[in-house]
Amino acid sequence: MFQGYWAAVVTPFRHDRIDVAAFERCVAMLAEAGLEGIVVGGSTGEALSLTREERLQLIKAATHTAEGRIHVAAGIIAATTHEAVQQAKDADKSGAAALLVASPFYVKPSSEGLYEHFCAVHGASPLPIIVYNNPGRTGVDIDLNTLERLTQLPRIAALKESSSHLLRIFSWRKHLRSDFALLSGDDGVSPAFLAMGGDGVISVTANVVPKLCVGLYNAWINADLETFAYIRDQLASVHEALFIAPNPCPVKYALSIIGLIRDEVRSPLLPLSDLEQLAIRRVLQDLSLLAA
């Protein structure tokens, strides 16, 4: 399950309400493209702007649309362990196949506090867990000692690594269970991540060009380095454009001009400037995703 390309899927809005029809279109496109899975209600899904009822609605819509073609993981992003446990229980009841559990944000817990947090979520749900390390957003960085302890729990199955420490993947691999998956959370370094022993990517870019992302991964595992390099270079400009402003503002604009969703985010996020929009439009035109 925890390999290849996953998409951290967006949450489309229409007049500040979830646009279920647009969300289902996105999930269907991603499933048809051959992705391994999607994460619903993660950072790219504007998790912190969603109500409990909206999170449940998204998970149910995703599992219904996926029809078993693609794995559905629920994002668990909370500042307290109590809230994370409740979200995990909700996700299980709503049909999710896995959990992507972020470190608690803002409160900056100790390493022992992080360990206890993940243990509590693990004990509250029968679903496999992807540990989500994103110190730029949460304010805390999971260290190797904590991760080693967590991998002794049977359902701690993978790490989504979104720190800037790419070399740690190379050095950590030998300390972790052989069946424990390492997933990149940074599109820009994903080719290097795979080359250093990573198992896959949880991607923002895959929302827009899922077939290219699948092609990159397939080229890598088939040792087709010429195709891998070609797709890597194609994707480089897309990665750059989709992080020209805070995520998910650029990817939502890209999906809107492709015709899948409305360009709408919730405050305090803002729509892109005209110059930022132009940069994304040019990249998509170069890939023939838009009319010239």
Per-residue pLDDT of the chain (292 residues; tens, 9 = 90+): 999 999 999 999 999 999 999 999 999 999 999 999 999 999 999 999 999 999 999 999 999 999 999 999 999 999 999 999 999 999 999 999 999 999 999 999 999 999 999 999 999 999 999 999 999 999 999 999 999 999 999 999 999 999 878 888 888 988 999 999 999 999 999 999 999 999 999 999 999 999 999 999 999 999 999 999 999 999 999 999 999 999 999 999 999 999 999 999 999 999 999 999 999 999 999 999 886 5
Q: Check if 115 is active-site.
A: no
Q: Which of 115, 132, 217, 253 is catalytic?
A: 132
Rounded Cα distance, 129 and 10, in Å: 20
Supply φ then ψ for residue 167, to 5 degrees: -65, -20
What is the CB neighbour count within 10 angstroms for residue 69?
13
CA atoms within 13 A on the CB side of 58: 32
89 is catalytic: no
The whole-model pTM stands at: 0.95
Q: What is the pLDDT of residue 134?
A: 95
The confidence score (pLDDT) of residue 164 equals 75
Predicted confidence at residue 292, as pLDDT, reads: 53
For 9, half-sphere exposure in the C-beta direction (CA atoms, 13 angstrom radius) is: 36
Distances 165 to 136, 171, 204, 217, 264 between C-alpha atoms, Å = 12, 11, 19, 21, 33
Report which residue type is found at 121: V
What Å distances lie between residue 177 and 98, 148, 161, 174, 182, CA to CA? Answer: 19, 8, 16, 8, 11
Q: Which domains does the chain have, with CATH numbers?
A: 4-222 (3.20.20.70)
Q: Which candidate in 5, 160, 217, 252 is catalytic? A: 160
